[in-house]
Chain A
């Protein structure tokens, strides 16, 4: 592990709740690590498990999928699919040898800027304890 290791996190955020929540985190000057890059999706239901796996494959140390709380989905029931899909993916990650802690799936509403900031802080801290994804991939002969 290099000393300068800073985890790289990709966050898939739903446009209506979590993306607005992240915006609020910035607007309310909440501090969170700059390790995260956010990709806006219309709904957390848009995120296919394949996209998450692919992101890890590209060397991301952590991936977040954040969506609206159940009942708040802009599309009614889009996040119900996320709620079915993501725990399954989390279980599968362990099987593939990727630590399931690298993957965070959480509901963050538009008013929960601080929750978003805390989620990023927690994940960054956790990832500091784990080896970089690049090393994992190398070890597994994936690159």
Chain B
């Protein structure tokens, strides 16, 4: 097992280098760089100052040289500073000689996105598993059909549209919830309980809406997993030896049916980190999706590379954890890994 783990971790290094190389070149295939964004198309600015900027950022060098410079910095885990955002560090905070701390862009954005998406995933799972079980047990009956209908309505409604409707209904008409942002303007003046309440009310819509739209997929997975398991011989055996339906479903079938869910959760890790541009824009949440989108639009290369690299690393780690979890949960897989 340990040998397997070390092998997997070591494999990640060439993988990450490969990912970064491909990302770097694709990024440079896009025409333009930081010096020709829309704001710089202003007769008050001069081509000389843009050229100077290009030299300072090494953008005048061949792409392969730029990649070499980037890789060299990466050996010391230095993700560099943003071109566009006033030289803010891309990844982690830095401290200047006067003790002023400048926080990293990913450091600030990642926890927000992670919190929203993990909460969303938890809600999705707590709703999807019971719904999937019910749909499988009542397969073909009205319960199954109405769950399917509900899910596909949620799946088909565009998230931004639902967001705007709910923002209007809950925020403007009834004034029950805040409309956008993460905190109230006077958040600092609240006591602890007030702060918690304020944060939760701001998080409600951004968490609930992706959960509703994401419900369909997972419910279907659980339902199909259950249906598959119901046809297995050991379920027939369990029924034949006279176990109660409750025991058959929850002790024997469910445990087996939920195994593929580990893979699904593992696969959703890139999404947990990546965030959604549209949701973050509508709800004015300074998360990873918005950060990445803005960086691409501004051709802010260090930020793009930082997000892609950290995103890939976290994804690889997430996959590894998912595999380990799978091995832990499923003895068949575990034996296969041990033999490896």
A binds B: no
B residues neighboring A (CB under 8 Å):
none
